[in-house]
Chains A and B, each alone.
Chain A
């Protein structure tokens, strides 16, 4: 068995361990061990990937393995990774790990919570290691369903509504996607569902023009493509902390990753022809999401709309179809994943203390809980793209890439999208000023306790990652750039 499958196997073992655990201590032990193992594993994989590439291996996917699963349908269980998957695996591991610590004292039913949480991570990991359309789709769906119960049982606010809306809309996305996948497979006439094999075949344009929009929209629903983004604010706002982190941090990236790896890579002609429609839609996502965030007063809603805006930027960059923008898109996935996870973790921690998420009811928290306050400012700075933090690197690359298009259409859209940076600054600074500085609004807030050790661990890990990407981006952007190249050559055909 290929060692990449460990990414799926470890969460499975975690589930078995959790199933047998009796006390909260044991549950915490199993969850933490699993999280640490996954972190180590993704670190090792990154190292191995880099050495393999440094040794001159230029294969598109490394560490591939292939096992026939359903022979009559040419379904194989095939895995393999390139630089983009490595980056995503790294991101997932960091967020799964920090998510465990952010929900250290989850109540009620901790066992069930972590069971579903592990199932969710199986879906995400599996998606990033698969190179077979069927297994990819299967993992994608595995990742969707635990969300319903995670939000419905452990969420807050309008949780039942949020959970149902999120599940159904994402299911709708996967319905579009499944038609797209079947169309790709039968349209290409390939004898394998492996993406690399299908890429060698040619899908007639007459079919591409139907299946490209379906596939792109299918993934776009998860990547908060306007007008299918409406699940995101309600879903994220009502989800428990760790789930918001994993969902906004990683699951929304599944959309971008899939749109890139399946829709663009396999159907390049239609991508060229139809990109403009989706560019307009994603452009709306970017700007509209940012404007919507200004109007919100609930911290989670602000961050959820900000995610719509940032994830819209990922899809926007992917549709620019050039190397710089695509590299920027992947960097943005990483950067936004870490940053939004940090935001949601902090919001969860603040909410756990103040019992409110309304910014009008909070103030002066910097004096009371300085650690969380400072961390919140760092997250905010990363979000509005301060140089030295990850957001700057990603957005800079994206806008440079987008501006490489010389025609008016692309340039106007790019300029409009860049305005989101300013709007982001407005809503971030407004929140920071309102809740962290000024006078304490509520007398109950004067004696709050600052972060505990497990909260600090989770926050510090995320901040280190953000700083690492922001200050030394080249090793990771180099890795991504190498892996974007095959897609670019596919597009140039």
Chain B
């Protein structure tokens, strides 16, 4: 088939083109042209998002090394939109004097991790998958350590890279065991060759740890709060939504594609992980005073909820999972958007700093409230629908007890989300955060997120579109 097959990889190549163009632009453009670096980058990335919006027919390349399904376009588009929102929110931060010189790198590295996730999603072979995984995690460490003058940032970068490498090596070890027991790494062949021998189950466990780490499930979550707290807020947002979203999707597809035969072996594992993640993260979140740590624990418990869709292992679960990622993206990015605005201007990040925020910044508090209600799963916001669908997918397979435990946890989660709302709306404050005016890109990003939170649930088109592609997975 030659090299012409590569031309089918639209998403990857168009992203690569944007990346390379931006890199050259950053290096060779004059001072005047560099002024337009961010607008150009954002326009190009938006263009890339739109060009790759329409799903195509399913196909395979290079003997099954690369597999494309229409669903991949959906999840990649969700990641694209999320990345776009993060880039909009980071606009101001990157225009500061200290960071202007690093803008090119920021874009290049962020998009490189996105490219890695693309490959993870569309991989049809463990090798390509591993390359994707590494491309997504090693540049991520540099992003986490982006503030090179800050000790904390460097520390969290080191934390991230060490845990990431450890997790990937376990994953790689798992893959080698799979290869040892079956003699192939192609997903299509493996689906029949994996029969559930003890070695293969061990291989699965090792392999899955790499993904559990990226999704930050308990007990692989210990890096999350520290890294989330110390990294630049926009990068934390990226880490908590895009990186996590792609990893859960990949987890689901590989579980079905490769480990479909040993479904009875992995379901109990995920069952335990889901309960542990939701419960422990919720309990820890109650005590957090720093909002970024708080959202870190909240995102761990959200990941636990997503696992309910994974456990179901059905087409309905797939659709619910993708929908959940979409809604979670809007809600979490809205929350991080507000936090980053306030942190960048005032440096305040503690929950007590938010006391009386509604008096001075009603719109920001309103967006934050919507985001938190959506995360807590309160109607009419989108989070309610995504939670309901995930629970429904699990209940359809008879996991009533799991749904029940997860639902009891929503009470705890509502409590801590209400703590933030209480701080903003109820608590009095002598000197609240002064009135802030956001610049256009941030406003745009918050408008997109708010619209998403309000519309994606009440209008059923989004879910129905996703569901129409989920069958045949």
Q: Which residue of B lies closest to A175 (CB)?
A: B407
* Number of chain A residues close to chain B: CB under 8 A: 29
Does B421 count as interface, using CB distance less than 8 angstroms?
yes
- 15 extra interchain contacts, Cβ-Cβ under 8 A, other than A72-B463, A175-B404, A182-B400? A70-B385, A70-B460, A70-B464, A72-B316, A141-B379, A145-B373, A152-B426, A164-B418, A168-B414, A171-B414, A179-B395, A179-B400, A182-B392, A183-B395, A210-B400
Give Cα A167 to B400, complex, Å.
24
Residues B391 and A168 in contact, CB atoms below 8 Å apart: no
Residues A160 and B422 in contact, CB atoms below 8 Å apart: yes
Does A17 count as interface, using CB distance less than 8 angstroms?
no
Q: Which residue of B lies closest to A160 (CB)?
A: B426
On chain A, the residues within 8 Å of B464 by CB distance are 70-72
Q: Which residue of A lies closest to B410 (CB)?
A: A175
Residues B407 and A72 in contact, CB atoms below 8 Å apart: no
Does B166 count as interface, using CB distance less than 8 angstroms?
no
On chain B, the residues within 8 Å of A453 by CB distance are none
Does A149 count as interface, using CB distance less than 8 angstroms?
yes
Give Cα A63 to B415, complex, Å.
40
Residues B384 and A72 in contact, CB atoms below 8 Å apart: no
* Number of chain B residues close to chain A: CB under 8 A: 33
Given A72-B464, A138-B380; A149-B411 close (CB under 8 Å): no
Does A134 count as interface, using CB distance less than 8 angstroms?
yes
On chain A, the residues within 8 Å of B425 by CB distance are 149, 152-153
- 8 residue pairs of the A-B complex, CB under 8 angstroms, read A72-B463, A72-B467, A142-B380, A152-B426, A168-B411, A172-B411, A175-B410, A186-B398
Which parts of B401-430 form the interface with A (CB within 8 Å)?
403-404, 407-408, 410-411, 414-415, 418, 421-422, 425-426
On chain B, the residues within 8 Å of A164 by CB distance are 415, 418, 422
Q: Mark A386-425, 1 if CB is under 8 A from B, else 0.
A: 0000000000000000000000000000000000000000
Give the interface SS of chain A, mostly helix, strand, loop or mixed: helix
Residues A145 and B391 in contact, CB atoms below 8 Å apart: no
Does B242 count as interface, using CB distance less than 8 angstroms?
no
Does A320 count as interface, using CB distance less than 8 angstroms?
no
Give Cα A168 to B411, complex, Å.
6
Does B29 count as interface, using CB distance less than 8 angstroms?
no
Measured between C-beta atoms, what is the minimum distance from B286 to chain A in Å? 12
Measured between C-beta atoms, what is the minimum distance from A436 to chain B in Å? 35
Does A475 count as interface, using CB distance less than 8 angstroms?
no
Q: Mark B312-337, 1 if CB is under 8 A from A, else 0.
A: 00001001000000000000000000
Does B59 count as interface, using CB distance less than 8 angstroms?
no
Chain B interface residues toward A at CB < 8 A = 316, 319, 373, 378-380, 384-385, 388-389, 391-392, 395-396, 398, 400, 403-404, 407-408, 410-411, 414-415, 418, 421-422, 425-426, 460, 463-464, 467
Does A69 count as interface, using CB distance less than 8 angstroms?
yes
Number of interchain pairs (Cβ within 8 Å): 77
Q: Mark A170-187, 1 if CB is under 8 A from B, else 0.
A: 011001101100110010
Measured between C-beta atoms, what is the minimum distance from A186 to chain B in Å? 6
A-B interface, 5 closest residue pairs, ranked by CB to CB distance from nearest: A175-B407, A182-B395, A72-B467, A138-B379, A152-B426
Residues A148 and B395 in contact, CB atoms below 8 Å apart: no
Residues B411 and A175 in contact, CB atoms below 8 Å apart: yes
Instruction: Tell me which of B373, B389, B407, B414 contacts A179 (CB under 8 A).
Output: B407
Give Cα A179 to B395, complex, Å.
8
Q: Mark A439-455, 1 if CB is under 8 A from B, else 0.
A: 00000000000000000
Residues A141 and B460 in contact, CB atoms below 8 Å apart: no
Measured between C-beta atoms, what is the minimum distance from B93 to chain A in Å? 32
Best-buried of A152, A182, A183 by chain B (most CB within 10 Å): A182
Give Cα A134 to B391, complex, Å.
13
Residues A178 and B391 in contact, CB atoms below 8 Å apart: yes
Which parts of A56-82 form the interface with B (CB within 8 Å)?
69-73
Residues A145 and B395 in contact, CB atoms below 8 Å apart: no
Residues A142 and B379 in contact, CB atoms below 8 Å apart: yes
On chain B, the residues within 8 Å of A178 by CB distance are 388, 391, 403, 407
Measured between C-beta atoms, what is the minimum distance from B301 to chain A in Å? 15
Q: Which residue of B lies closest to A145 (CB)?
A: B378
On chain B, the residues within 8 Å of A69 by CB distance are 460
On chain B, the residues within 8 Å of A139 by CB distance are 379
Q: Which residue of B lies closest to A214 (CB)?
A: B404
On chain A, the residues within 8 Å of B400 by CB distance are 179, 182-183, 210
Residues A70 and B463 in contact, CB atoms below 8 Å apart: yes
Q: Which residue of A lies closest to B315 (CB)?
A: A72
Give Cα A269 to B426, complex, Å.
47
On chain B, the residues within 8 Å of A171 by CB distance are 410-411, 414
Q: Which residue of B lies closest to A123 (CB)?
A: B379
